[in-house]
Amino acid sequence: MALEDNAAEELSGIVRSGRDILCIFKAMATPCEVRLETSDEALASGVFEAVEAETRRIEQKYSRYRADSVISRINAAAGEATPVDPETAMLLYFSAQCYALSDRLFDITSGILRRVWKFDGSDRLPSKADVSAVLAYVGWKKVVWEKQAITLRPGMEIDFGGVAKEYAVDRALAMATQITPAPMLINFGGDLRVSGPRQDGARWKVAIESVDKSGGMEGLVEIAQGALTTSGDARRFLLKDGVRYGHILNPKTGWPVEDAPRSVTVAAATCLEAGMTSTIAILQGKKAERFLKREGVRAWCIR
């Protein structure tokens, strides 16, 4: 998703965009945008510094690519119990709830499947044998999580890739609103949240990007409060013999979800809630719309 005017698409740093001051940086392998409706550049600079610092703190703490991260420490414990701090415990409890609510489809142990799946737009599919070999290390039910400590079986891993970015958006907004009540929108790679309506009471206008290569948009959403997230296969996929394989994998089979929407956008109170819902909807495959209707959420599906 992107703001309708798309004023700073190719820029970085701090820039003026209409009635807003905009900060753009890269973290968590995604473009991060903070849009603040103010003319006070000093205030904006303070907000942006706080947001970027909090985002990089979360990235450092939970990135699987850093040997010193909490995730790497847990994954390297090789069968030993690893005590965790309250923040990590909260994310683990949240992930466990998602696992239960999704009928074991939202599974933070499934990230290890990346060893055999490379969603680079090519036609290179892994063999069934390779997928089955890695699938033996997938399954939250195999994890021991109790008394603020987690124990993984040797060879297993956890990955907060499905929650960390959304959590970072929520935390960034919390930090920013402690500094100023000025209207703002925080957008990390299409997962976004607003503090409230604009100063004149108008809603923020956000485009739902097209799933094809046209670069256009599928529609326009107006938001005055809360969050929007989008899950889909527009950028990460494989294509073989006319069949498109999206990057969201079914942890029960180790293969891409069949008959899933190309894109699901969900509105919710927080980014964590919206992101969980949009991802679980994709995991439902052909039942995605039925799931969203049953949950009673505002959502937009593209097939």
What pLDDT digit, counting tens, does each position of 155-168 carry?
999 999 889 999 99
CA contacts within 13 A on the Cβ side of 186: 28
Whether the predicted pLDDT of 127 surpasses 80: yes
For 128-143, the pLDDT digits (tens) are 999 999 999 999 999 9
Nearest to 34 by CA among 238, 179, 231, 214: 179
pLDDT of residue 214: 60
Q: Band the pLDDT of 18: cuts 50, 70, 90.
A: confident
Model confidence at 149, pLDDT cuts 50, 70, 90, reads very high
- Could you report the per-residue pLDDT of 90-119, keeping only the tens digit for each? 999 999 999 999 999 999 999 999 999 999
pLDDT of residue 5: 53
pLDDT of residue 9: 46
Q: What is the largest CA-CA distance in the chain?
A: 59
pLDDT, position 2: 56
**Residue spans of beta strands (DSSP E) within the chain:** 2-3, 13-17, 20-27, 30-36, 82-83, 144-146, 149-151, 184-188, 191-194, 204-209, 217-223, 226-232, 237-240, 243-246, 263-268, 298-302
The model's pLDDT over 26-76, given as tens digits with 9 standing for 90+, comes to 999 999 999 999 999 999 999 999 999 999 999 999 999 999 999 999 999
CA distance 194 to 182: 11
At 16, the pLDDT band (50, 70, 90 cuts) reads: confident
φ, ψ of residue 109 in degrees (nearest 5)? -90, -5
Q: Round to whole Å and give the CA distance between 91 and 99.
A: 12
| Mean per-residue pLDDT of the chain | 92
Please check the confidence at residue 236 and state whether its pLDDT lies above 90: no
Q: How many whole angstroms separate alpha carbon 79 and alpha carbon 74?
A: 9
DSSP symbol at 249: B
- Report residue 12's pLDDT band, with 50, 70 and 90 as the boundaries: low
The answer to whether the Cα torsion of 65, 120, 248, 152 is positive or negative is negative
